[in-house]
Amino acid sequence: MARPEASAPDAVLACGEVRTRLLPTRQALDIRSAAQFLALRADERVLLSERPALYARSPETLTGVDCPLPSANGSRVRAVGTVAARAALTEGRVLQTSAYFRLPSTGPDQRRPWGHYLVRPGVVEPFGKLLPEAIAEGVLGGGRPGDLDVGLIADGLLTRLLRHPLLDQRPPLRSRPTRLRWAALPAAPGAGPSLERFTLAEDDLRTVRLRVPPAIPPDRIAGLCDDLALHDWLLTTVVHLLDGVRFGAPEPSARPRPGDDRPAAVLALRPAVDHLLHLWMPRARVASELAPLWDTLERQPGFTRQWQALVQRIRDQLTLHAIPALYREAELTP
């Protein structure tokens, strides 16, 4: 990024929220459409890459904020600055918007002119001193109305993008968006990054608590969290898809859809094969110093293990449904 960044005291906390959802189009966007779709600013280019998978990321946008920080201990620390937000599209299929900021441990006692904040993109400065632990838990738990809400900024960007005329609003499968909130506290001096907690808080909400060496910039932490959110969304979506399928012989009351004699299970699972199964690629976009955090999730709960089991189940179902057709053909030949 070419922007001049004023030096700020080391961040004691970085926080963010990621929204993840299926792009509502019949076909995935190709790389040129993706670039057009994510061109949020005229002065900065969309980041595009084709390996190991098609990936496009918008430039950062900044939102000015001046409001209390959420906190778990009831303190109300006012903070002023800018929150960074960006959008990313994976394989032209999964859309994510991500908003994040970092907080220094102390800030000025009064509000400075906006110029001061604009040269510190993505930094929010507290008035006075701050207890990072309380703010981290406040962010993860969701603040009170009026508190700084990064989720709203991510949501605002998502809403804006979803109005884009490139989208035909014909999603190939029903799915639910998810939210992932994260907070990263500094790791102990000399210690590497660690993932302290990954929770499924509500149906569609995940929270992640991290420790990272203070030198790692927040957009890299956001990159890791985007990657976690993407794969968590894939798991959630495929689990729901399988939940909705009635397996086994069709019930006598089941009505065939007019004009379609494929079994319901095949109709339901096919979109996963067409649109989702090839998207599993953990760590593909994660900075190398943060990539080891994935290992924690691979051990427990075992993201990739669960994914492989789901993929196998889908393939087995589709194979099973292919068998009667083969029999039919075999009977036809004398």
Give contact residues for another protein (rule: CB under 8 A): 21-22, 24, 152, 155-156, 159, 162-163, 165, 167-171, 174-177, 203, 244, 246, 255, 258
Residue closer to another protein, measured from CB, 112 or 176: 176
Q: Which is nearer to another protein, 251 or 331 (CB)?
A: 251
Crossing angle (nearest 10°) for helices 218-243 and 264-275 = 160
CB nearer to another protein: pick between 190 and 258: 258
CB of 293 to another protein, least distance (A): 29
Closest by CA to 267, choosing from 249, 246, 281, 297, is 246
Nearer to another protein, 121 or 143 (CB): 143
Q: What's the rounded Cα separation, in Å, for the pair 87 and 169?
A: 18
Closest approach of another protein to the CB of residue 104, in Å: 28
Nearer to another protein by C-beta: 113 or 145? 145
How far apart CA 249 and CA 216 sit, in angstroms, is 54
Q: 3-state SS of the chain: helix, strand, coil percent to 5?
A: 35, 25, 40
Provide, rounded to whole angstroms, the least separation between the CB of residue 114 and another protein: 24
- Nearest distance from C-beta of residue 162 to another protein, angstroms: 7
Rounded Cα distance between 123 and 109, Å, is 16
Q: Which residues pair with 13 in a beta bridge?
A: 103
Q: How far is the CB of 303 from another protein (least distance, A)?
A: 23
In the bound complex, what is the minimum distance in angstroms from residue 176's beta carbon to another protein? 5
- Helix ranges (H only) for 142-185 are 150-162
Backbone φ and ψ of 61, nearest 5°: -115, 155
- Find, among 281, 304, 292, 229, the residue nearest to 50 by Cα: 281
